[in-house]
Amino acid sequence: MPLINESHPEEFILLGFADRPWLELPLFTSLLIMYPIAMMGNVTIILVSRLDSRLHSPMYFFLTNLSFLDMCYTTSIVPQMLFNLGSSKKTISYMGCAVQLNFFHIMGGTECLLLAIMSFDRYVAICRPLHYTLIMNQRVCILLVSTVWLIGIIYAVSEATATLQLPLCGLNKLDHLVCEIPVLIKIACGEKGSNELTLSVVCIFMLAVPLCLILASYASIGSAVFKIKSSKGRKKAFGTCSSHLIVVFLFYGPAISMYLQPPSSISRDQPKFMALFYGVVTPSLNPFIYTLRNKNVKGALRNLVRSIFSFK
């Protein structure tokens, strides 16, 4: 790796798939297609949730926040990816890397916690239906969303700040598509064991604990659903929860495989594919998972389309 005099370089070289240039055009084309789809899908979810009065409930309030998060999450990395894949100059400034690092992890950390809140909402709706409106009132919902955003910001800023303070000894090549905490820790020189340990402990709180709460919620939900005598009622309950469970596994699976292991043990290509998956693929699929499996959202979407054409 080339060395420069400063401990922190003026810019980073994002190698990406430089050793496999034949991958760059297909990846560029895929991102160019998936990014607008992700944006349009999530904007549509936000619009129908706000414009249709039947969707003014806690479940869709949280879904709107998830769609907004996914839009920000994808936007924090895809434009830079497209620029680097479509250009021979594959660099990002040190300040640009710091900004991307913070935004990417704010959105990721907040989404981890928001998915857990959404499972709690489903637990209350199915297991405590008579108390649902009392427990999940508007004030509680706003408080829960504000709390997860605050925790996500604190997590990201503290981890990113600690990572950016590590001496890099002038090393400025990142074998990645974006700036991500484990990759920056991996190229740091000197003692970095404490940073790896801190990242693992924090990620247990941000990933493992919410996932355990989600699984516990769905264990209780499953027990309650099987007690429902009506097959139609069981089908409706499972249909409501299945979309969220699919999103949970699509997001948590890659994130856990990336963050719940020491950065030094991460394989070379793992960060690239994981970032593409939980930063691009999952946010692109989320709107379709919720719309295709949710009659209320599909109905609201049809009404929105009809109103647009009627207006024209």
Residue 49 forms part of a structural domain:
yes
Can you give the residue range of the structural domain that contains 50?
A: 11-311
Q: How far apart are the first and last CA of the chain?
A: 60
Residue type (1 letter), 181: I
Share of the chain above pLDDT 70, in %: 88
Number of residues in the chain: 312
Q: What is the mean pLDDT of residues 257-284?
A: 77
Asked if residue 5 is part of any domain, the answer here is no
In this structure, of 22-31, 123-132, 221-230, the range with the lowest mean pLDDT score is 221-230
Number of domains in the chain: 1
Does 64 map to a domain?
yes
CATH label of the domain that carries residue 118: 1.20.1070.10
Quick one: which of 119, 132, 107 has its CA closest to 62? 119
Is residue 1 a part of any domain in this protein? no
Instruction: Give the per-residue pLDDT at 110.
Output: 94
CA–CA distance, 69 with 66 (Å, rounded to integer): 5
Q: Is the pLDDT of residue 3 over 60?
A: no
Residue 4 lies in a domain: no
Region 259-271: what's the mean pLDDT?
A: 70
Residue 254 scores a pLDDT above 70: yes
Contact 12, 173 (CB under 8 A): yes
Least confident residue range of 6-15, 43-52, 228-237, 269-278: 228-237
pLDDT of 103 reads 92
State pLDDT tens for residues 136-172: 999 999 999 999 999 999 999 998 888 888 887 767 8
Taking the mean position of all CA atoms in its chain, how far away is CA 23? 24
pLDDT category, 249, cuts 50, 70, 90?
Answer: confident
Residue 139 within a domain:
yes
Query: Which three-class secondary structure state does DSSP give residue 180?
Result: coil
Displacement of CA 179 from its chain's centroid (Å): 15
Evaluate whether residue 3 is within a structural domain: no
Q: Is residue 161 part of a domain?
A: yes
d(CA 58, CA 138): 7
